[in-house]
Amino acid sequence: MQSLRALIKRRSVFQSTPFGFRSLSVQSCDVTKDDAEELVLVEGKASSRVAVLNRTDALNALNTKMAVRLKRLYESWEQDPDIGFVVVKANGRAFCAGGDVVSVYNLMKEGKVEHCKEFFKESYSFMYLVGTYLKPHVALLNGFTMGGGAGISIPGTFRVATNKTVFATPETLIGFHPDATASFYLSHLPGYIGEYLALTGEKLTGAEMVACGLATHYTDSARMALVEDRLGKLVTDDPSVVEGCLEKCGELVYPDERSSMRRIETIDKCFSLGTVEEIIDALESEASISSDEWCTATLKRLKEASPLGLKLALKSIREGRYQTLDQCLIREYRMTLRSITKQVSSDFSEGVRARLVDKDLNPKWNPPRLDLVSEDMVESYFAPFGESEPELELPTKLREAFT
Tens of pLDDT, residues 215-240? 999 999 999 999 999 999 999 999 99
The predicted-structure confidence for 293-303, as pLDDT tens digits, reads as follows 999 999 999 99
Mean pLDDT of 197-214: 97
Per-residue model confidence (pLDDT) at position 37: 87
Strands 94-96 and 158-161: unpaired
Residue 403 banded pLDDT, cuts 50, 70, 90: low
Each residue of 197-207: b (16+ CB within 10 Å) or e?
A: bbbbbbbbbbb
Q: Are 217 and 247 in contact (CB under 8 A)?
A: yes
For residue 350, pLDDT over 60 is answered with yes
Residue 1 banded pLDDT, cuts 50, 70, 90: very low
Average pLDDT in the chain: 91
Residue 102 banded pLDDT, cuts 50, 70, 90: confident
Residue 35 banded pLDDT, cuts 50, 70, 90: confident
Per-residue model confidence (pLDDT) at position 402: 60
Residue 399 banded pLDDT, cuts 50, 70, 90: confident
Cβ neighbours for 209, distance < 8 A, ≥ 6 positions apart:
141, 159, 161, 165, 167, 215, 218
Angle made by CA atoms 124, 139, 127, in degrees to the nearest 5: 10
Element (H, E) at 209: helix 206-212
For residue 5, pLDDT over 90 is answered with no
Mean pLDDT of 125-129: 98
For residue 3, pLDDT over 50 is answered with no
Residue 387 banded pLDDT, cuts 50, 70, 90: confident
Count of positions (residues) in the chain: 403
Residue 24 banded pLDDT, cuts 50, 70, 90: very low
For residue 159, pLDDT over 90 is answered with yes
For residue 398, pLDDT over 50 is answered with yes
In this structure, what are the phi and psi dihedrals at residue 179, rounded to the nearest 5 degrees?
Answer: -120, -155
Per-residue model confidence (pLDDT) at position 381: 97
Please list the active-site residues: 99, 148, 171, 179
Per-residue model confidence (pLDDT) at position 206: 97
Residue of 121, 23, 126 whose CA lies nearest to 71 = 126
For residue 23, pLDDT over 50 is answered with no
Percent of the chain having pLDDT more than 90? 85
Cβ neighbours for 332, distance < 8 A, ≥ 6 positions apart:
124, 177, 179, 180, 181, 182, 183, 316
Residue of 302, 335, 353, 337 whose CA lies nearest to 198 = 302
- Is residue 345 helix, strand or coil? coil
Q: Which class for 40: exposed (0-12), middle (13-18), buried (19 or more C-beta within 10 A)? A: buried
